[in-house]
Every structure is written in C-alpha cells, then in structure tokens.
Amino acid sequence: MTIDRTRRRLLQALAAAGASGTFGRALVALAAESGRVSTEMIQRAEWISGLELSDEKRELMLGRLDSLIEGLDELRSVPIDNSVPPALAFDPDPETRDSGDPYVGQRTVGPASPPVPASREPNDLAFLGIRQLGSLLRSREISSVELTHLYFDRIERHDPQLRCVIARTDKLAFQLAQRADHELAAGHYRGPLHGIPWGAKDILAVPGYPTTWGATPFRDQVRPERSTVVEKLHQAGAVLVAKTSVGALAWGDVWFDATTKNPWNLEQGSSGSSAGSASATAAGLVGFAIGTETWGSIVSPCTRCGATGLRPTFGRVSRYGTMALSWSMDKIGPICRSVADCSTVLEAIHGSDPKDPSAVDRPFDWPKGKRLRDLRIGYVASQFEHDRTEGVEDEAERNDLREWRAFDRATLAALEELGFNLIPIELPDRYPIDPLGLILWAEAAAAFDKLTRDGRDDQLARQEEFAWPNFFRVGQMVPAVEYIRANRIRTLIQREMAELMTKVDFYVSPSFGGSNLLLTNLTGHPQVVLPNGFRSSDGTPTSITFTGRLWGEATLLAVADAYQRATDFHLRRPPIDPPA
C-alpha cells in the first residue's frame, strides 16, 4: 500500500471519528479526494484532546499535520517484534525515598522447612512443598524422574477437566529430570529447586516449544529466545513439565476455544490471566509455577484457586523472553502452594539482566524471626470496615461478601494473636487512580498495534467490550500528551506511596478493596496474596493481600509465612482426587 493511499485511509478514519450526518459524509469524501488534512477535520478531531481551537490556529497546523501523517506512515512501515522495548524504562523508586527492607543484611537460609509427612502416596506427594520434595530428592527416597512421571500422570488425569496446560514439555522434562538425578547422586546440589517439576505461563519463551500467548493468531508461534526466568530455573535444576494456559494475550482465563477451570469448582473459570499457573499449582499438577501480573493477573487467579502468589517489586525479576503487554507495568512472580515456596522460587529468579533494562540487583535476605514483631504493620482501615454489600441485590451474593469481610477481619485478629502491632492507615486518594488505566491501554495498543491494523484481532476468542480487541482500539485513541500526563500524575502518586511507606513496613488489605490493586501495580510495590478462608456457599477460597515496601519482599514474605504457619488454609486440597 502506498503512503498516499494509506494517508487517505487515515484521514478518512480521522474525519469519521468526529463526523455525523451529511456534513460528516461530505468531509470523508473530501479527505478521500484531496488526501490532505483540512481545518474541518482538525475541528472534528479536537474532542479527543479536549481542545477548541480558532480557525487561524487550525490553518497554521495544516502543513505540519500533513507532514506528521507522512512520518507516521513511514514509522508504521518498520516491522517491530513484541520483544523490542521502547527507549524508556519505568523506575518504581526514582527518588530512593522508600528504604526498602528494614532487615537487609540479616541473611539466613530462608523459612524453615516443615517436616516431611510419612505418607508416600502419589496424591500426597503431589501436594508437598518445594523444600519437602527437595528433602526426599536429596535423600534419594524419590527420584526426579519418578516425580516428573507423577506430575505428568496428574496432568493426563486432570487437565481434560481443568484445561490448565497448553503444551507439555515431555522430552525436555525427562532430560532435565535425568540430569538432576545424576547430579544429586554425584553430590552436585544446585539448591532447593533441584529436580522439582514446574510450569511456565505460556508467555515465557522456551526454544523448541510453542509460545502461543494463549491467542489463536499465535497458536503455532515458536520463539527463538529463551526467557531469562526459564534459564535461571534451568540453572537451578528445576524441571519444566508444562507451558500453562494464559488468557489470550494475558487477559482472563479464556484461551483459544477453552476456559481454564478452578479446581475447587469446575463450573467456574480460574480467573486470569495466569490462569493455568494458579489452577495447576492448586490442583497439584506441578510443584510450582510462574505467573505474570500487569493488573491483577497473579492476585486474581490465586484468589480464585486458593494458591499463594507473589507479585515482586517492578524490576526485581527480568522479563526478557516474556510477551510484553505494558513495558512499565509487567511483572513476573511465583505461584506456589505456600509463602515459603514463593520465597524459594524468588531467590532463584530475581536479579539484574542486561537484556532487560528494567531489571536490577537488590538484596533479598530472609529476616530473623525474633525481629518480626518489631515491624509496623498497617491495615487499610476503611476497607475492612466498608460494607461491600451496598447496591448488591442478590441475597446469596450479599451473604458471600459479608462472609469474605469476616475472613478479612479474622486475618487481622490472627496477626494480633501472633503478637504483631497493627496500625490503621489509608491509601493516597488525592489523585484519581482509575483513569490511569489508560497507561496500560496505550502501551498494550502499541505492543499489539500490528494485530489491530491487519485485522487478526478478530481471531481472538473474546470479542466484547471488556476484552483486548476493543481495548487495543481504545488505546489507539489515547493522545501522547495524555499518556505523558498520566505518567506525571503517576510520579505524584509514587511520592505519596513513598511517604506512606515511611510510616509502616507493609500493610494488609482485602485483595480487591478500593483502588489498591491498580494503585500498587502502577507504583510497582510487591504483594503477596494467600488464602484466608473458604466460602460456606460453595467451598471455594477467599484471599487476603499483603503489600510491602519497594524491594521489601523478604519482610513481606516472612510475616505472611508466620500467618500461614498459624493457619491451615493453604494446606487444604481441592476435591478433584478420590478419597484415599
């Protein structure tokens, strides 16, 4: 397509955006005939920027806009792979006001491993923690090859119902498992993940295997690069057994023509977009999994499936080799069956990477337990007091929300019983949070611009208002000035969060209370999400969220681990296996 023809089509679209009636149709015809911008077109397009210009100012703009459109044509002709980031990088801690973890430098070996249960039944082994499985592997009571067979058997048995696996990696898995067994037998120990089978969300590239991004247009895609996280886990001795399902292009739990299910209720989707990673981990189909989050994609499926998830500080984990959705918001983290397991995985995958300009080295040191009770733990008071049933007409749903609030309050009571001092706080509310979602829409629209322009977005399973095809188009309408304005407001919010985090070491909040989820994804703060109850209506899990200081994952995980050791919600299993 020639530049002139492309320009005429763009002008037609520009005119149509503000056109109505016979005048609008005449304007479109004029654009097609002349191939140039007119003052009428500018006037009709002013709404998108909230401007109202004079005729003189519009006349002055004509030449530059014609030139701009020609330049845009040239820029759009350059092929850009999804792996290429913009020449900008988001810094979650630009003024270093957030001092990070108060207990850096007090390194221990991490959380103590619970004793290994006596049972060696396959269904029991499948749900053991990473360090428990590691103990059995090191003592040679079970081999990595046997453990890999165990998880493959469970995938074969349960995945037809759960739909949590996009691709198995049998050949690679048994190569890695055999290597692990040989090395362990020779006394070569790579660490606590050595020989542990795991699953990778299918937006992490693994050479030789499909990396489909859960989307039909990329169903046969095989990426040449290897994700840095995959490489680090490979070096740690972990055994990749599956590419887990992901909602198409990292939204929801629908991929291709399938929906990943919640193992606690097969009538429910698992939520997303780390749909398969949460479902497979909760169902005991892998020892642990890797998920990603931009705006709730770890927190939401972990809540639905009863898994424990960690969304690390932005920049804590390299994203190289992972599908880009939002360069300033994407984060990678572990999805496990316990906080202790999340800590073990983070230890292996964090750190800087020359291939990801956002990835940095910051200490990750497990704090000494005797100091934890000196921490200042905040809780978002209004969110625990708020009656979330307001406006909800369905009585069953109202009861469900009341029960969830009771679980959240019980979490605070459990922390107090453990000796922690709770401080009421409120989150920054001086600036609007929800409208800043345009940052994600604009970046995602840029990441998948070609998909929108060539019409392949029609192949995505979900074609509705709240789905990517529509938001990619909406993102095309965000002016550059407004995108930059939103990021400047983001800086102001970062400063307010930095000020708040000088008053507490971390805070507790309902997982979906207020604007906390978007707020902290914008500022890059780490979160741990973990189960804190089960609904009486259908037996499905609820969750609570702990939010830490930037780079404060160790303290955050240590307190969450103390809470989990005082409860048993994370130890319960979904009812997918027959009774022993």
User: Where would I find the beta strands (DSSP E) of 354-505?
Assistant: 376-380, 421-425
How many CB atoms are located within 10 Å of the residue 487 CB? 17
Tell whether 238 and 356 lie within a shared domain.
Answer: yes
Tell whether 151 and 64 lie within a shared domain.
Answer: no
Q: Would you call 437 helix, strand, or coil by DSSP?
A: helix
State the Cα–Cα distance between residues 208 and 222, nearest whole angstrom: 7
Token couple for 521: 């994804």
CB 308 within 8 A of CB 563: no
Domain boundary pick from 49, 78, 107: 78
Q: Which pLDDT does position 285 carry in this prediction? A: 98
443 part of a folded domain: no
Helices 21-34 and 3-18, packing angle to 10 deg: 170
Query: Taking CA 83 as the corner, what is the angle to CA 302 and CA 478, rounded to the nearest 5 degrees?
Result: 80
Q: In 3D, which of 102, 110, 566, 541 has the Cα closest to residue 309?
A: 541
Q: In 3D, which of 343, 342, 271, 350 has the Cα closest to residue 309?
A: 342
14 part of a folded domain: yes
Tell whether 170 and 287 lie within a shared domain.
Answer: yes
Tell whether 65 and 154 lie within a shared domain.
Answer: no
Give the residue ranges of DSSP H helices in 524-552.
Answer: none
Q: Is 398 exposed, middle or buried (0-12, 13-18, 19+ CB in 10 A)?
A: middle
Q: Which pLDDT does position 368 carry in this prediction? A: 64
66 part of a folded domain: yes
The contacts of residue 276 (CB under 8 Å, 6+ apart) are 163, 164, 165, 166, 199, 201, 202, 242, 244, 245, 246, 260, 270, 289
Q: In 3D, which of 389, 32, 51, 26 has the Cα closest to residue 40?
A: 26
Tell whether 180 and 49 lie within a shared domain.
Answer: no
State the Cα–Cα distance between residues 35 and 7, nearest whole angstrom: 7
Domain boundary pick from 24, 52, 78: 78
Tell the residue number behind the tokens 């016979």, with chain if given.
22
152 part of a folded domain: yes
Q: Give the structural domain span for 380.
A: 122-430+486-571
Instruction: Report strand pairing: 197-201 vs 239-244.
Output: parallel
State the Cα–Cα distance between residues 3 and 1, nearest whole angstrom: 7
Q: Cα dist. 330→39, 555, 569 in Å?
A: 40, 23, 29
Helix, strand, coil % in the chain, rounded to nearest 5: 45, 15, 40
45 part of a folded domain: yes
Contacts 24+ apart (CB under 8 A), 82-87: 82/323, 82/324, 82/447, 82/448, 83/225, 83/321, 83/324, 85/324, 85/327, 85/357, 86/327, 86/446
CB 308 within 8 A of CB 335: yes
Tell whether 203 and 63 lie within a shared domain.
Answer: no
How many CB atoms are located within 10 Å of the residue 50 CB? 9
Name the domain count of the chain.
2
CB 275 within 8 A of CB 243: no
State the Cα–Cα distance between residues 552 and 228, nearest whole angstrom: 22
36 part of a folded domain: yes
578 part of a folded domain: no
CB 250 within 8 A of CB 301: no
State the Cα–Cα distance between residues 295 and 291, nearest whole angstrom: 12
Tell whether 303 and 394 lie within a shared domain.
Answer: yes
97 part of a folded domain: no
The contacts of residue 110 (CB under 8 Å, 6+ apart) are 340, 343, 344, 347, 366
pTM of the model: 0.90
Rg (CA), the chain: 25
Q: What is the CATH number of the domain that holds 299?
A: 3.90.1300.10
Tell whether 17 and 165 lie within a shared domain.
Answer: no
Tell whether 150 and 228 lie within a shared domain.
Answer: yes
Tell whether 139 and 39 lie within a shared domain.
Answer: no
Q: What is the DSSP string of 367-382?
A: PPGGGGGGSEEEEEHH
Q: Which pLDDT does position 102 carry in this prediction? A: 61
Q: Would you call 263 helix, strand, or coil by DSSP?
A: coil
Tell whether 388 and 296 lie within a shared domain.
Answer: yes
The one-digit pLDDT tens for each residue of the chain (580 residues) are 444 444 444 455 544 444 444 433 444 444 444 568 899 999 998 888 888 989 998 998 888 888 878 887 888 888 999 999 998 889 999 876 555 676 555 455 577 778 888 889 999 999 999 999 999 999 999 999 999 999 999 999 999 999 999 999 999 999 999 999 999 999 999 999 999 999 999 999 999 999 999 999 999 999 999 999 999 999 999 999 999 999 999 999 999 989 999 999 999 999 999 999 999 999 999 999 999 999 999 999 999 999 999 999 999 999 999 999 999 999 999 999 999 999 999 999 999 999 999 999 999 988 765 578 889 999 999 999 877 777 788 888 899 899 999 999 999 999 999 999 999 999 999 999 999 999 999 999 999 999 999 999 999 999 999 999 999 999 998 999 999 999 999 999 999 999 999 999 999 999 998 999 999 999 999 999 999 999 999 999 999 999 999 999 999 999 999 999 999 999 999 999 987 6
Domain boundary pick from 78, 112, 136: 78
Q: Which pLDDT does position 6 carry in this prediction? A: 45
Tell the residue number behind the tokens 């030789």, with chain if given.
208
Q: Would you call 323 helix, strand, or coil by DSSP?
A: coil
State the Cα–Cα distance between residues 161 and 170, nearest whole angstrom: 20
Tell whether 32 and 171 lie within a shared domain.
Answer: no
